[in-house]
Structures are given as structure tokens and as C-alpha cells.
Amino acid sequence: MRAHEAGWAHAEGARGPAWLQVPEDPNALVTHLWSTSAAKNDDGALVVGGVDMRDLVAEHGSPAYVLDEDDFRGRARGFRDAFAAYDVYYAGKSFLCTTVARWIVEEGLRLDVCSNGELSVALRAGVDPVLIGYHGNNKTAPELARAIEVGVGRIVADSFHEIERLVDLSADAERPVGVMIRVTAGVEAHTHEFIATAHEDQKFGFSITSGDAFEAVRRVLAAPGLELLGLHSHIGSQIFDSSGFEVAARRVLALHARVRSELGVEMPEMDLGGGFGIAYTTQDDPSTPAKLAAEMSAIVARECKDLGVAEPRLSIEPGRAIAGPSVCTVYEVGTVKEVALDGGARRTYISVDGGMSDNVRTALYDADYSCTLASRHSEAAPALARVVGKHCESGDIVVKDEFLPSDIVPGDLLAVPGTGAYCRSLASNYNHALRPPVIAVRDGAARVIVRRETEDDLLATDVGAVQ
Ligand SMILES: *Cc1c(COP(=O)(O)O)cnc(C)c1O
């Protein structure tokens, strides 16, 4: 009998998607999906940062986002070191709180924000505004005024209306306002594929092909209060190969060279964006910062040589690749249900005490996750399970398909890796759920860095609430 047939038998007929392997031991961690310190102890319990998840939940409750501090810092440092000649901006929208903003600066990175709220967090954390980049396709005049007043290092302009606002606001600014121009290079990259087109049907940036990007450059250069730093391009997210970056870099550098030849201006910088992929499941095979740096630098060096221009100072903006793998979410199982599938196969539905309010990516992007039994060892055979939340939506799925031991019961803890990016930051109060805490673990100690919401938090904005 071949391995997958053995698995088929164990899983009572339910195979799951083609990429999902039946594990020999469903207790074992697929280590590359987890933060570096994650391991199972002798009881089979998950330990992260030296903290047993059973103890963490006993003290702090569930669900909880567990942030492996050394792992997060290590990934930030990994980008810092690999891209030593670049400025590395952490994309705060992936996950931001004051503690993490401080770690980012301590590790030598800069910080991207894309809203007034994210800017507030950065300032509250004490981040030097010069280290902050400010993005967004609809920054209002008051938002831009605040960014200029506090002295944000660079504002990434995204539309002609915004350039008008910046021209007005910078007219009596104390010092020139650093501006980059977000351009669309006609490349869209998501996971394993990228599409290069001349047509750019999306809301971000100035089109290179239409001439808008060149016109934006002209208008910024004409404004005495603005200092044009360079062009900015971000092509997508969860990208695994550099060919999309290559096509984009070529197009952006061609514009950079055109500005030099036609306007006589050598822009000092260029930003190549973020979007570096991480492993959510065994389907994903991410690159390393060192390999990315070597590839991107080679692409830029070659193009600049061909175009006869000096290499601008480069920057990148990783978010997910730093925050994502450093966090797992720990849930408690509440109910277990067997459901018959077409053809007689069965699937186990395991409901946990969170769901789309703490991780909407499965519902929003059809994202894949994996998970493990985090509170004990099990001798039971693996069975295909679907981990679902407690919200009133059938799309409220946390993990679409995973082989878990077939004896999962209420009270067991499950942990989902790779939830550091775009989970807490996209979390909601749907069904009036209380958003979970973020708990940093390191050297056997757990420290709450964002506390769990309370019923009072929930009702704080409800002006009709009677005490
Ligand atoms: C979201 C975003 C990033 C970060 O993307 P990741 O996939 O988290 O690396 C970087 N730059 C810009 C402009 C973004 O919008």
C-alpha cells in the first residue's frame, strides 16, 4: 500500500486537497511553518519562547496571539543584514503596536505607516519621525498636515490631488518635504505567479505607461516646498520569485533614467516595495533575505549599467516576511462534529473560540493555514479536519484542511502558525467578539504587549449603553 493510501484509510476516505500530505505523526511540528523557538515538549504540548501554551492559556485565556520575540527580531535583523546597503522599512500595516515599533527601530529598521492611526502608534512608541514613511491612496489634507508637522521622513504620493495638497501644505513648511512617487509598473504579483501588462486597472499609484508618473515627477519637481526623493513601486504580496520584481524594476528604472535625460534630475532613491512570501503550509517555499537581496541588487545593477545611470539608494518594505512567521494563534476547542461529504467520505469540524474576527484571511483571501494539537500528545490516527470559528458565517474558517489526531475533544488547545501578519491588524469585533491579546514570549517568560479587549472596551463607543 502506498503512503497516501494508508493515509486515505486512516482519514476515513477524506483526502483533502492534493498538496496536503497525510502526516506519519500528526503530533509532529512541520518546523519551517513555525517560529524558530517553537517545539513540542515531552507531554506533546507546544512550547514557544520557552513558554508552555497550556500555562499561557491558563494565565491569559484563549484565543491569544503568541509572538516569539527572538524570532521577530531575528527576521527583522535578517532583512537588515542581508539588505545592508538599503533602507529597510517594516510595513507596519502587517502588525503594529508600540512594542513592535520599538523593536523595529532597535533592530535598525525604519517604519512604514499607511494611516493616521498607524502614525499615532509609531509616534507614541517614540519612533523618530525621520525614520517613518507614509503611504496611502487617499491621505487627507489634515493627515498630510500632521505628517509634515511632525517631520515624517518621506511621504509616498499616490495621486495628483495629493500632490496638490502637498504643494499647498509645504508652501510654508520649515524644511522641504521628502516625497516619493508611487508608480504602477504594470506588474501584479501574487504567490506563485505574476502578470506583466501594459494596463493598470487598480487604485494605487501613477501609471508609467500613460505618462502620469512622469507628469507627477514634473509637478513635484516644480514645487519649491517638496523634495523629490525617488520612485516607489510595490507589486503585490506573498511573492515567491523575483521575476516580477525584475520586470517592475526594469520599467521603474527606465522612468528613472528618462527623468534624468529629459529633466536633468538624478533622483537619489528608489523603493522596490515589499511582498516577500512566507510559508503558511507545505505548499509554500519562501526565499531567504540573502537570496532576495542578491537577486534584486543584481537586477538593479545590471539595468542601471545598461541605462547608464548611477544606482539610486534602494529601499524595501517587508511586512509579512518579518511579522508573519513569528506569531501563532492558540485556540481552545469547543465542539467537534463529524460531517458526511459527497461520496461517503467524512470530515471533522472542530470549532474553536475565535475565528474570522481574529483571522479573516481565510474568508477574505481563501488563505491556507495549518495547525497542531498544542496541549497534549495523541496516539490516535490522523483524520482530515476543518477548524472553524464561532461566528455566524459558514465562511468562518480558520484552517480549511489539516490532518489532526482523530481524538480531538473540547478543551484541547490548537495552535495555528504564521498568524503574525494581517491577522491582529485585520481583526474585527464581529459578533461583538473581544479581540485577543498579543503576548510576547521569550526565555520562558510571557509578557502581554496588547491586552485582550474587555466588555467595557466593547461598549466604550456605544453612547446609548446604560451603566
Ligand atoms: C502592504 C505593503 C507592503 C508590505 O507587504 P508585505 O506583503 O506585508 O511584505 C509594502 N509596501 C507597500 C506599499 C504596501 O502597501
pLDDT digits (tens, 9 = 90+) for 330-358: 999 999 999 888 787 888 999 999 999 99
- pLDDT value at 10 more than 60: no
Pocket test for ligand 1, best of 317, 327, 423, 424 (most atoms within 8 A of CB): 317
- Is 5 annotated in some ligand binding site? no
Pocket test for ligand 1, best of 183, 237, 280, 284 (most atoms within 8 A of CB): 237
- pLDDT value at 5 more than 60: no
Distance CA 205, CA 212 (A): 9
pLDDT at 192: 63
Per-residue pLDDT band for 197 (boundaries 50, 70, 90) equals: low
Pairing between β-strand 236-239 and β-strand 187-191 as defined by DSSP bridges:
parallel
The residues assigned a catalytic role are 392
Closest by Cα among 76, 46, 290 to 38: 46
Written as one letter, the residue type at 168 is D
Q: Is the pTM of this model over 0.85?
A: yes
Could you tell me the three cell numbers for 421?
501578519
Could you read off the pLDDT of 284-296 as tens digits, one per residue?
999 999 999 999 9
- Contact between 386 and 397 under an 8 Å Cβ cutoff? The reply is yes
- Contact between 93 and 425 under an 8 Å Cβ cutoff? The reply is yes
Domains in the chain, CATH or no CATH each: 3-68+326-460 (2.40.37.10), 69-324 (3.20.20.10)
Distance of CA 239 to the CA centre of its chain: 12
Measured at the alpha carbon of residue 36, what is the angle toward residues 33 and 38, in degrees to the nearest 5?
Answer: 80
Distance CA 266, CA 309 (A): 8
Could you tell me the three cell numbers for 40?
513540542
DSSP letters, 48-114, are: ETTEEHHHHHHHH-SSEEEEEHHHHHHHHHHHHHHTTTSEEEEETTSS--HHHHHHHHHTT-EEEE-
Could you tell me the three cell numbers for 382?
490522523
Residue 275, ligand 1, Cβ within 6 A: yes
Distance CA 119, CA 152 (A): 9
Instruction: Give the number of residues written for the chain.
Output: 467
- pLDDT value at 2 more than 50: no
Residue 237, ligand 1, Cβ within 6 A: yes
Distance CA 271, CA 248 (A): 11
Distance CA 445, CA 450 (A): 15
- pLDDT value at 436 more than 70: yes
Written as one letter, the residue type at 441 is V
Q: What distance in angstroms lies between residue 281's CA and the mean position of ligand 1's atoms?
A: 21
* Kind and range of the H or E run holding 59: helix 53-60
- Is 92 annotated in some ligand binding site? no
Calculate the alpha carbon distances from 443 to 20, 48, 94 in Å: 33, 9, 25
Neighbours of 17 (CB within 10 A): 11
- Is 318 annotated in some ligand binding site? yes
pLDDT at 12: 45
Written as one letter, the residue type at 286 is P
| Complete edge-to-edge strand list for the sheet that includes strand 39-40 | 39-40, 46-48, 51-52
pLDDT at 225: 97
Mean pLDDT of 408-434: 98
pLDDT at 467: 62
